């Protein structure tokens, strides 16, 4: 069954700043009845996602269009201890021109960029300078990333420093212990403080779902973070043993759908960690389309947290154009 998408010869608009401006999620009072009523039927969830790749496969021009869409939704990321300004500048150059010009010309597409560039705080100013004039936002990981166990006042202060340096998106990590002990009020209060510290910068709440113990906990943590004003909810830091998975994604997307149905506010979704193949990216996008609809197929409401994914997407697009696979080293990321 082929999913409807834009024709391959339709130019895709640049993915820097959102083309449609949704009102930000202001949050709401913590509703414990709603939170405690959230459940997750693990066997049903696993059956649902197991059938997805084959049932929603797309081919040829449709597949290429979905891969181009995936590129516009990537938070192109480097979060290594050996990051240097030179590496970050190369990454930003790739964000500005993520696909070789000859491939885009053959596809009849122009104006492609990634959704954002994501770095540690120390590299925010470098990334902002490298992306000046492009409209591509810089996201900074914060709040003691990846464990979130530094002193609380320092985690809040770190957000402010990254915003001051020019980050327009902040990826914060929640305290997993609040979820594991069922202290939902503490999680809500923490998220509200982080949201306030972000000011005008959008905040993505990283749940570290691989460390939350159950899909039910994922559902409840998703709701609490949205109630506290998260603009996005994100699966993982990419540093856990288990990162983004389709079952977790289904649970989080349905929490987003429920939140929108009750409040009228759309919250974004970001799977991160372990998504490195083009076919997996298309599967995530089709799940998103099924569960949340076409409006979420946009970088202001959906992002991939990835780096190596872009290389495989570009490689697959070259195969679509030429009929030949090229070596991965011909599609360097940064």
Peptide bond into 70 cis (omega under 30): no
Give CA–CA dist 261/48, Å, rounded.
22
- Tally of CB atoms within 10 A around 33: 6
Give CA–CA dist 280/292, Å, rounded.
18
3-state secondary structure of 39: coil
Give CA–CA dist 266/252, Å, rounded.
13
Of 182, 186, 228, the C-alpha closest to 205 is 228
Q: Cα 12 vs. chain centroid, distance in angstroms? A: 19
- Tally of CB atoms within 10 A around 255: 24
Runs of H (alpha helix) within 131-175: 152-165
Give the Å distances, CA to CA, from 286 to 52, 70, 155, 252, 319. 8, 11, 36, 15, 22
Q: How many CA atoms lie within 13 A of 88 on its CB side?
A: 26
| Active centre residues (catalytic) | 171, 234, 270
Give CA–CA dist 99/82, Å, rounded.
25
Of 310, 240, 239, 252, the C-alpha closest to 280 is 310
Give the Å distances, CA to CA, from 49 to 69, 127, 248, 250, 286. 21, 37, 10, 8, 11
Give CA–CA dist 331/100, Å, rounded.
8
């Amino acid at each position: 069954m082929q999913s409807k998408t834009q024709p391959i010869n339709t130019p895709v608009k640049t993915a820097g700043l959102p083309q449609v401006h949704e009102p930000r999620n202001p949050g709401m009072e913590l509703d414990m009845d709603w939170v405690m009523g959230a459940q997750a039927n693990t066997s049903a969830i696993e059956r649902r996602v197991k059938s997805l790749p084959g049932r929603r496969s797309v081919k040829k021009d449709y597949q290429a269009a979905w891969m181009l869409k995936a590129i516009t939704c990537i938070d192109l990321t480097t979060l290594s201890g050996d990051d240097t300004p030179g590496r970050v500048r190369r990454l930003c150059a790739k964000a500005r021109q993520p696909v070789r010009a000859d491939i885009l010309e053959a596809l009849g597409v122009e104006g492609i960029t990634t959704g954002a560039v994501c770095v540690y705080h120390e590299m925010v100013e470098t990334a902002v300078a490298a992306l000046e004039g492009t409209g591509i936002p810089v996201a900074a990981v914060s709040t003691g990333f990846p464990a979130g166990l530094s002193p609380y006042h320092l985690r809040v202060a770190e957000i402010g420093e990254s915003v001051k340096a020019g980050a327009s998106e902040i990826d914060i990590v929640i305290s997993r212990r609040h979820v594991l002990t069922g202290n939902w009020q503490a999680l809500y209060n923490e998220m509200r403080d982080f949201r306030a510290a972000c000011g005008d910068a959008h905040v993505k709440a990283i749940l570290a779902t691989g460390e939350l113990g159950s899909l039910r906990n994922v559902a409840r943590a998703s709701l609490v973070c949205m109630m506290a004003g998260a603009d996005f909810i994100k699966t993982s830091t990419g540093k856990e043993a288990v990162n983004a998975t389709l079952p977790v994604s289904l649970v989080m997307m349905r929490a987003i759908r429920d939140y929108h149905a009750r409040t009228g506010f759309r919250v974004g979704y970001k799977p991160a960690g372990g998504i490195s193949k083009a076919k997996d990216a298309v599967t995530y996008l089709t799940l998103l389309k099924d569960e949340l609809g076409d409006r979420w197929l946009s970088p202001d409401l959906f992002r991939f947290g990835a780096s190596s994914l872009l290389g495989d997407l570009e490689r697959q697009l070259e195969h679509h154009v030429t009929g030949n696979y090229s070596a991965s080293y011909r599609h360097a990321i940064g």
